[in-house]
Amino acid sequence: MDDATQALIAGIAADAAPVRPINRMRGLAMVGLAFLFTEIVVLFALGARQGLMSGQVSVFFVVVNGLLLILGLSCIAAVLTMASPQVGANHDGPKWAMAMTGVLPLAGLLAATGAGVNGHLHVEGAHCMYLGLAASLLVGAALFVWLRRGAPVSPRLAGLYLGAGAGALGSVANGMACSDESIAHLGIWHVASVVIAALIGRYGVSRWLRW
């Protein structure tokens, strides 16, 4: 080994610093606390929807929020894994969850068309969509910090999952205070915030995830 190579190795070794290993459970706890805090703020500011505490909710409420919760958790699991690249890693789970959730807007549009939804409901729906996006910010920030600590191989896919996961949990958090439990409202407006958040993550946030 020549002197130049030895000097290069010595220089690299001198600049090396210990780095705390990425622990997925720590990331999960961080996201969980962000979601819990968001839910508390939503319920404190808007109040719990009628029948939530007694379990008197419609089947549409359970199905829509259940699918959104599955989507959110699957995306979060993928994001936490993508921060630590590994050979043979498979991140197809969120794609299946997205496919299942994709049925909701179709059902909502069919219901809205048949019921003749008026402009007032559109205004209320848009308001709910904005609240869902606002409720996704803290979870999205936690996932962003986590990915910045790691090294995602596919920033665009990581950004897509970050946005979809944060948007889904934000929609669920807002859903606990939303009084409209019709499939037309839930299927369109509560899913719309997830789609918008996913697009923001895919085309906006992903630019800041490159190493």
Q: Is residue 117 part of a domain?
A: yes
Q: Is residue 190 part of a domain?
A: yes
**pTM for the whole structure:** 0.86
pLDDT at site 105 = 94
Please state, rounded to an integer, the average pLDDT across all residues of the chain: 88
Helix %, strand %, coil % of the chain (to 5): 75, 0, 25
Dist. CA 173–CA 38, nearest whole Å: 7
Domain count for the chain, please give it: 1
Q: Is residue 101 part of a domain?
A: yes
pLDDT at site 1 = 54
Q: Is residue 5 part of a domain?
A: no
Angle at 170 between CA 187 and CA 193, to 5 degrees: 45
What's the half-sphere exposure (Cβ side, CA atoms, 13 Å) at 136? 36
Which pLDDT tens digit goes with each residue over 197-208? 999 999 999 999
pLDDT at site 120 = 46
Q: Is residue 11 part of a domain?
A: no
Q: Is residue 92 part of a domain?
A: yes
pLDDT at site 210 = 74
- List, run by run, the mean pLDDT of 10-residue segments along the chain (211 residues): 64 57 87 98 94 88 97 96 76 91 93 65 85 98 94 92 98 95 93 98 92 64
Q: Is residue 168 part of a domain?
A: yes
Dist. CA 168–CA 189, nearest whole Å: 12
Question: Collapsing DSSP states into helix, strand and coil, what is residue 147?
Answer: helix
Alpha-carbon 134 to chain mean position: 12
Q: Is residue 18 part of a domain?
A: no
For residue 95, the enclosing domain spans 23-208
